[in-house]
Structure 1
Amino acid sequence: MNSGDILFDAFVVENCVEQIDENCDLCSGILILKGKTGSVTLYPPKELGLYQSVYKHLTHPNTFIKKTLFDKFGMYNEGHKIVSDWEFFFVVSGLNKCKYQLLNVPIAIFYEDGISSVNKELQEREKSIVLKNNLSDIVLKELEERHYLENLLTQSWVKNMNRLKKNMFLFKIANRFLKVLNKFVR
């Protein structure tokens, strides 16, 4: 955790220990992002792979790391100012096979006033260096294309929802449907 981040409550670790599968290398739960304009709940990915490790990656305040991963892959690369934790998760879950468990409980509160939140340009530059050092150009291109298509689909979805808002009755029906569907997806 960073200096300003805090555990969600006094019982988080105790509650998680009971849920964690001892065969898992990484266990990640829910992170609450606190910013100037309010809070956002960030859910960890359901599964880990190369794409997830690049675009839907784990975050360190809400992730438990088995010590053997550090023994096998080394500690965080402190040559970075921002992406040391991201690079570690990228290496262990994107480039290598590690066992992962999703914990559906809030773990930590992350305050968006640190360097990683305010210096996005440096963060992207460091990520780009890590990716170029570890992936071929064709793999990078394929990842970028998939990400582009997923964003396009999301934008299309948002655009259609905005159209629905003009008809409040249809919007309410669609909204209720999505809430019910969301319960089954998580």
Structure 2
Amino acid sequence: MKISIITINYNDIEGLKKTFNSVLIQDYPNIEYIVIDGDSSDGGQEFLKQNSDKLDFWVSEKDEGIYDAMNKGIAKASGEYVLFLNSGDWLVDNTVISKFANEKPYESIVYGNIIKVADDGKESIGRSAQSSDVSLFHLMFGTLTHPSSFFRRELFEKYGGFRTDYKIVSDWLFYLITIGVHKESVRYIDTNVSYFDMTGISNSNISVRNDERERALKEFLPSKLYEEYQILKQMKEDSEVLNRMKNDRRFNKLVNYYSKVFKSSFRM
């Protein structure tokens, strides 16, 4: 089974080296490594040229943002599964890909845990939700993380690539569409996949993310379900109330009903 790893880079030479080295030391033999560079001016292009013999494909050119670059990588990928590991993120050890392959995956999306690295170097393991808990409801409020997710490449042929009109949340939107709406199969493996560098994530980034998620939910959710979402969002800080709602059969029936309505009327 071939695994495609796609790295997006722009003016992050040190992050690129860290990511690059973590891929190179993998003990799994059938890895396709693709790097899409956004016309970096900090030595990234020179580094890629010097190491071009270790890459299956690389290009350095201007793009329209990270999701445009990720779509370029998808277009060049030929593996059964695709992992997005962008500059500054790195695999936890040299056995990550072989462990994944040994699980004999067949699901549309297979995901593990991510280790978040804060500005001060402190690490925290972000354990993902169990696959049975990943639903439209879960994705309305939460997400999975793409540096710890393996996507079947055919998903992008089926649903298209990432939306480029969103700056931050298109990966979350892809989960919402594929898992939440279309019920694509998903599997959680309790293993640490990658380190995620939290450096540079500011309050302004969080604000943009929240605004974009709100815009996407308003665009894609049926109006009745969006109204219910607004009510739940107001109660979000009260975890007891939220958990009670999540376990309420009537509410879950409503979510499932509108999920079916949404799916039948949804168009990419």
- What is the TM-score normalised by the length of structure 1? 0.75
Quote the residue 1:158 is aligned against: none
Aligned position for 1:35: 118
Aligned residues, how many? Answer: 154
Whether the 8 Å CA contact 1:20–1:27 is kept in 2: the answer is no
Separation in structure 2 between the aligned mates of residue 86 and residue 70 of structure 1, nearest angstrom? 14
Which segments of 5 or more consecutive residues in structure 1 lack a partner in the other structure?
A: 156-186
Give the match for residue 80 of structure 1.
Answer: 166
Distance (whole Å) between structure 2 residues aligned to residue 93 and residue 107 of structure 1: 20
Higher helix share: 1
State the Cα distance separating 1:75 from its structure 2 match.
Answer: 0.7
Tell me the SS of whatever aligns to 1:119: helix
Query: Which is bigger in relative contact order (C-alpha 8 A, separation at least 6)?
Result: 1
- Tell me how far 1:117 sits from its aligned partner: 7.5
Give the direction of change, closer, same or farther, for the CA distance of 1:99–1:3 in structure 2 (3 Å limit). same
Misfit runs of 4+, over 6 Å: none
Check the 8 A contact 1:20/1:101 in 2, yes or no.
Answer: no
Give the aligned partner of residue 138 of structure 1.
224
The answer as to 2:196 corresponding to 1:110 is yes
The structure 1 residue matched to 2:141, chosen from 37, 51, 55, is 55
Q: 1:13 aligns with which of 90, 97, 102?
A: 97
Matched position secondary structure for 1:108: strand
In structure 1, what is the equivalent of residue 214 of structure 2?
A: 128
SS state of the match for residue 115, structure 2? strand
Contact 1:30 1:43 (8 Å CA) reproduced: yes
The structure 2 residue matched to 1:67, chosen from 153, 157, 181, is: 153
Q: In the aligned structure 1, how far is the partner of 2:125 from the partner of 2:204? A: 19
2:99 and 2:182 map into 1 onto residues whose CA distance is 29
Please give the TM-score of this superposition, normalised by the length of structure 2: 0.53
Deviation at 1:78, TM superposition (A): 1.8
Residues 144 and 41 of structure 1, relative CA distance in 2, 3 Å threshold: farther
Superposition deviation, residue 20 in structure 1: 4.1
Distance 2:160 2:170 in 1: 12
The Cα of 1:126 is off from its aligned counterpart by 1.1
Q: Which runs of 5+ in 2 are unaligned?
A: 1-84, 242-268
How far 1:98 moved relative to its partner?
Answer: 0.5
> Once the 2 structures are TM-superposed, how far is the Cα of residue 143 of structure 1 from its aligned partner?
3.0
Q: Which of 205, 211, 219 lines up with 1:119 in the alignment?
A: 205
Mapped contact 1:28–1:102 kept (Cα < 8 A): yes
Q: Partner amino acid for 1:18?
A: N
**Structure 2 equivalent of residue 45 of structure 1:** 129
CA RMSD for the aligned pairs?
2.1
